[in-house]
């Protein structure tokens, strides 16, 4: 098929949950591969030569401010994919990793306002509403301690909120799309994680029962992945 998409999902999660969460949103006619990344060897030799059309860098329980065994290999891969003109999407940790690779260590930091979690309001600007077809204010799934503060050159900010200034961006020239929030989780799967992490959330003064009363008013998986892959 001439225009068939060949998608690579790089799952950085220590729970190994991201690949399956992401695969459910991939087109049926696409070729989809996934790799669980936890070591330097996880980035297989020759991976960049596999002619992927799209790469998705997943979220993770890891902190971007700590060097992982695979960090340098990931940085090299991200830069090579950018140079080859492959579209890359970063989600939460993956979003931070892409910016760290292309901007430098000062692109990321521990969030000064602390842990952001729950079904959270995010404000989308006019460019985002036109590109994505979203409303100016949407509720999305959040679970992060770190954030991006500098974007790759030529990037356009798409979304923000009071906790984290850079919630989403796009870079047409470098073929980058990033979200601090997680569009892959719907109400059911997102709530399951909040219940799993109830002790952590409560230790940061979150009311889990109150969180579960909220949810996304839009199908975030379809909206954001259809846009990225479109």
Express each pLDDT in 57-82 by its tens digit.
Answer: 999 999 999 999 999 999 999 999 99
Percentage of the chain lying above the pLDDT 70 cut: 99
- What is the C-alpha to C-alpha distance for residues 63 and 109, in angstroms, rounded to an integer? 9
pLDDT of residue 1 exceeding 60:
no
**How sure is the predictor about 45, in pLDDT bands with cuts at 50, 70 and 90?**
confident
Tell me which residue of 105, 120, 108, 95 sits closest to 72, measured CA to CA: 105
- Given this model, what pLDDT does residue 111 score? 98
- What is the C-alpha to C-alpha distance for residues 209 and 203, in angstroms, rounded to an integer? 14
For 32-38, what is the mean pLDDT?
97
Residue 180 lies in a domain: yes
Residue 214 lies in a domain: yes
Residue 1 lies in a domain: no
- Given this model, what pLDDT does residue 150 score? 98
Q: List active site positions.
A: 92, 182, 184
Per-residue pLDDT tens over the stretch 147-159 = 999 999 999 999 9
Give the chain's domain count.
1
pTM of the model: 0.97
Residue 28 lies in a domain: yes
**Could you give the residue ranges of the DSSP H alpha helices within the chain?**
18-23, 71-83, 93-103, 126-132, 187-196, 198-203, 208-212, 220-229
- What is the C-alpha to C-alpha distance for residues 228 and 212, in angstroms, rounded to an integer? 28
Residue range of the domain that includes 202? 6-229
Residue 122 lies in a domain: yes
- Which pair of structure tokens corresponds to residue 23? 């695969």
Q: What is the mean pLDDT of the chain?
A: 97
Per-residue pLDDT tens over the stretch 181-200 = 999 999 999 999 999 999 99
- Given this model, what pLDDT does residue 42 score? 93
Residue 51 lies in a domain: yes
Q: Name the CA dihedral angle for 191, 127, 92, 221, rounded to a multiple of 10 degrees.
A: 40
- Which pair of structure tokens corresponds to residue 201? 């959330």
Residue 177 lies in a domain: yes
Residue 156 lies in a domain: yes
Residue 73: give its domain's CATH number: 3.40.50.880
């Amino acid at each position: 098929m001439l225009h068939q998409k060949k998608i690579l999902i790089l799952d950085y999660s220590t729970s190994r949950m991201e690949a399956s969460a992401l695969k459910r949103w991939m087109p049926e006619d696409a070729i989809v591969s996934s790799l669980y990344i936890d070591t330097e060897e996880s980035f297989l030799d020759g991976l960049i030569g596999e002619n992927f059309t799209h790469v998705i860098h997943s979220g993770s329980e890891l902190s971007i401010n700590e060097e992982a065994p695979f960090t340098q290999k990931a940085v090299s891969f991200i830069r090579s994919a950018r140079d080859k003109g492959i579209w890359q999407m970063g989600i939460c940790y993956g979003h931070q990793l892409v910016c760290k690779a292309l901007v430098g260590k000062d692109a990321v930091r521990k969030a000064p306002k602390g842990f952001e979690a729950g079904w959270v309001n995010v404000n989308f600007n006019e460019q985002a509403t036109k590109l994505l077809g979203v409303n100016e204010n949407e509720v999305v799934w959040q679970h992060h301690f770190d954030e991006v503060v500098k974007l790759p050159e030529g990037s356009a900010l798409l979304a923000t909120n009071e906790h984290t200034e850079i919630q989403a961006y796009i870079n047409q020239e470098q073929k980058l799309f990033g979200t601090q929030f997680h569009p892959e989780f719907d109400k059911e799967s997102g709530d399951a994680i909040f219940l799993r992490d109830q002790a952590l959330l409560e230790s940061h003064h979150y009311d889990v029962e109150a969180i579960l009363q909220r949810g996304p008013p839009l199908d975030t998986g379809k909206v954001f992945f259809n846009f990225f892959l479109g």
